[in-house]
A and B are shown apart, each in its own frame.
Chain A
Amino acid sequence: MSRGRKKRILIAKPGLDGHDRGVKVVARALRNAGMEVIYAGLHQTPLQIVSAAIDEDVDAIGLSILSGAHNTIFPKIMSFLKDRGASDILVFGGGTIPKKDLENLKSLGIGEIFTTGTDTRAIIDYLNTTLER
Chain B
Amino acid sequence: MSRLFDKNAIEDIDREKDQWQKEIYQPAEGEEKVFETLSGIPVEPLYTPAHTAGMDYLNDLGFPGQEPYVRGVYPTMYRGRTWTLRQLAGFGPAEETNKRYKFLLKEGATGINGVFDYPTLRGFDSTDPFARADAGRGGVAIDTIEDMRILFEGIPIDKISTSLVTCQPICNISVQSMYFASAEMRNVPLDKLTGTSQNDFLMETVITVAPELLPPRFSFKLSCDAIEYCTKHVPRWNPISFAGYNYRESGCSAAQEVAFVIANATACSEELILRGLEVDSFAPRLSFFLSAHNDFFEEIAKYRAARRIWFHIMKERFGAKDPRSLRLRFHVQTAGVALTAQQPLNNISRAAYHALSAVLGGAQSVHIDGYDEALCTPTELSSLTALRTNQILQLETRATNTIDPLGGSYFVETLTNKVEEETLRLLDEIDGMGGIVKAAATGWIHKEISNSAYEYQQAIESGKMPIVGVNCYQMEEEELPVDLFQVPETLQIQEQKLKRIKNERNGSHVREALDAVARCCEQDGNLMEVIVESVKSRVTQGEISQTLKGSYGTWEPPLF
Contact in complex: B340, A121 (CB < 8 Å): no
B487: chain A residues at CB < 8 Å are: 68
Per the 8 Å Cβ criterion, residues 17-42 of A in contact with B are 17-21, 24-25, 28-29, 39, 41-42
CA distance A24 to B207 in the complex (A): 12
Q: Is B208 an interface residue (CB 8 A)?
A: yes
Nearest B residue to A122, CB-CB: B461
B137 A116 Cβ-Cβ under 8 A: no
Expressed in whole angstroms, the Cα–Cα distance for A120 and B462 within the complex equals 11
CB–CB A18/B374 < 8 A: no
Q: Closest residue to A71 on the B side, CB-wise?
A: B133
Question: Which B residues lie within 8 Å of A67 (CB)?
Answer: 118, 133-134, 137-138
B560, closest chain A residue (CB) = A24
CB under 8 Å from chain A, chain B span 458-488: 460-461, 469-471, 480, 484, 487
B341 in contact with A28 (CB, 8 Å): no
Partner of A117, one of B211, B342, B450: B342
CA distance A121 to B130 in the complex (A): 32
The chain A residue with its CB closest to the CB of B461 is A119
Interface size of A as a range: 20 to 34
Beta-carbon nearest neighbor of B130 in chain A: A16
Query: B480 to A99, Cβ gap below 8 A?
Result: yes
A121 to B471, CA, bound (A): 13
**Per-residue contact bits, chain A 1-25, to B (CB 8 Å; 1 contact, 0 not):** 0000000000000111111110011
- CB-CB nearest in chain A for B450: A24
Q: Which residues of B (356-412) have their CB < 8 Å from a CB of A?
A: 374-377
Alpha-carbon gap, A20 to B249, bound state (A): 10
> A18, B340: Cβ atoms under 8 Å?
no
User: Could you tell me if B376 and A21 are in contact, using CB atoms closer than 8 angstroms?
Assistant: no
Q: Is the CB of B457 within 8 A of A18?
A: no
B208 touches A68 (CB 8 A): no
Bits for A59-89, please: 1 = Cβ < 8 Å to B, else 0.
0000000011100110000000000000000
Residues of B within 8 A of A42 (CB): 209-211
Q: Are B559 and A117 in contact (CB under 8 A)?
A: no
Chain A nearest CB, measured from B92 CB (Å): 11
Please state if B208 and A98 are interface contacts (CB–CB under 8 Å). Answer: no
Q: Determine if B493 is an interface residue (Cβ-Cβ < 8 Å).
A: no
Residue from A14, A16, A21 in contact with B453 in the complex, judged by beta carbons closer than 8 Å: A21
**A121 with B250, Cβ < 8 A, contacts A16-B122, A16-B124, A116-B340 known:** no
Verify A120–B134 contact, CB threshold 8 A: no
Contacts of B432 in A (CB 8 A): none
User: Nearest Cβ distance between residue A46 and chain B, in whole angstroms?
Assistant: 9
Collect the chain A residues with CB atoms within 8 Å of residue B450's CB: 24, 28
B169 within 8 A of A: no
A43-B210 contact, Cβ under 8 Å, with A21-B249, A21-B337: yes
Query: Among the listed A43, A45, A96, which residue makes an inter-chain contact with B375, where contact means beta carbons less than 8 Å apart?
Result: A96
- With known contacts A28-B454, A69-B137, A18–B560 Cβ distance under 8 A: no
Once the chains bind, are B559 and A41 in contact (CB under 8 Å)?
yes
Chain B min CB distance to A37 (Å): 11
Taking a contact as CB atoms under 8 Å apart, the answer to whether A39 and B559 are in contact is yes
Nearest CB in chain B: distance from A11 CB, A: 10
A68 near B470: Cβ-Cβ < 8 Å: no
The residue on B at minimum CB distance from A43 is B211
A117 touches B341 (CB 8 A): yes
Give the docked Cα–Cα distance between A43 and B121 (Å). 14
Closest to A76 in B: B133
Residues of the A chain whose Cβ atoms lie less than 8 Å from the Cβ of B342: 117
Residues of A within 8 A of B453 (CB): 21, 24-25
Would you give 22 A-B contacts (Cβ < 8 Å), ordered by A? Answer: A15-B133, A16-B119, A16-B121, A16-B122, A16-B124, A16-B211, A18-B122, A19-B250, A24-B560, A25-B454, A28-B450, A29-B454, A41-B559, A43-B210, A68-B376, A69-B133, A69-B134, A98-B375, A117-B340, A119-B461, A119-B471, A121-B461
Q: Using CB atoms and an 8 Å cutoff, list the residues of chain B in contact with chain A.
A: 118-119, 121-122, 124, 129-134, 137-138, 207-211, 249-251, 337, 340-342, 374-377, 450, 453-454, 457, 460-461, 469-471, 480, 484, 487, 557, 559-560
- Given A24-B560, A25-B457, 12 more A-B residue pairs with CB atoms under 8 Å apart are A16-B119, A16-B124, A16-B131, A17-B137, A21-B250, A42-B210, A69-B133, A69-B137, A72-B132, A73-B133, A116-B375, A117-B470
